[in-house]
Amino acid sequence: MKASERQYRPIKHGDVIEGTVMKVSREEIMIDIGGKTEGVISSRESTTLTEAERDALQIGDPLLVSVVQPHNSEGQAVLSLDRARQEKAWRDLQRSFEAGETISAPVVGHNKGGILVNIEGRRGFVPSSQVSSLPPGEANKQAEMARLHNQSIPLKIIEINRHRNRLILSERQAMQEQRESMR
């Protein structure tokens, strides 16, 4: 009885559920989301899916999706792969923060205040005061930050606020923890 309740529970906007791939085309991906319901992921809701990933999708593969609209005019659910991946990234980051884990991320840019990193498609900020490889003083700070582009650096999450889309990290804390564990 409980299994059938779970299978036929109504879906609502924002739900993240696992579905099964039914059909893959260039324009859309058809997903079985249970409860005799199928959903559609349009090409604009699957922009994070690379060509190789799209080609590798097979009928029957599980896929995590987010509900954009429970029912469209054809009675299908409108789904988003991008939003589901975003949700999964936030959940993984929150889990890493709570566990106090050190993560690694590539530097994708910099600004006056620090460097920008990319973690599972989420943009994070490392204030220049939290970058251990920067020399003290303002003299060559911009050049040193530019030198870090495309390098992967160890980081600790020091602040995460999903509602404000805010992710603040520290290389200094990660390096300090690494040195302490070596002692």
3-state secondary structure of 60: coil
Residues 6+ positions from 27 with CB-CB distance below 8 Å: 42, 43
Give the separation between CA 34 and CA 159, rounded to whole angstroms: 37
Over residues 171-181, the pLDDT tens digits come to 999 888 888 88
Q: pLDDT tier at 139 (50, 70, 90 boundaries)?
A: low
Angle at 40 between CA 36 and CA 44, to 5 degrees: 165
* Cβ–Cβ < 8 Å for 24, 57: yes
* Cβ–Cβ < 8 Å for 128, 169: no
Task: Give the model's pLDDT for residue 10.
Answer: 79
pTM surpassing 0.75?
no
> pLDDT higher for 64 or 139?
64
Average pLDDT over residues 31-52: 86
> pLDDT higher for 135 or 50?
50
Task: Give the model's pLDDT for residue 132.
Answer: 84
Over residues 54-78, the pLDDT tens digits come to 888 999 999 999 999 988 888 888 9
Q: Which residues share a beta bridge with 107? A: 117
3-state secondary structure of 15: coil
> pLDDT higher for 134 or 128?
128
Average pLDDT over residues 95-115: 91
Task: Give the model's pLDDT for residue 55.
Answer: 87
Give the separation between CA 12 and CA 69, rounded to whole angstroms: 7
Over 60: is that where the pLDDT of 120 sits? yes
Residues 6+ positions from 72 with CB-CB distance below 8 Å: 40, 78
Average pLDDT over residues 12-16: 85
Residue 156: CB atoms within 10 Å = 21
* Beta strands at 77-80 and 38-42: parallel, antiparallel or unpaired: parallel
Give the separation between CA 150 and CA 143, rounded to whole angstroms: 14
Q: pLDDT tier at 6 (50, 70, 90 boundaries)?
A: very low
Q: What is the mean pLDDT of the chain?
A: 86
Over 90: is that where the pLDDT of 37 sits? no
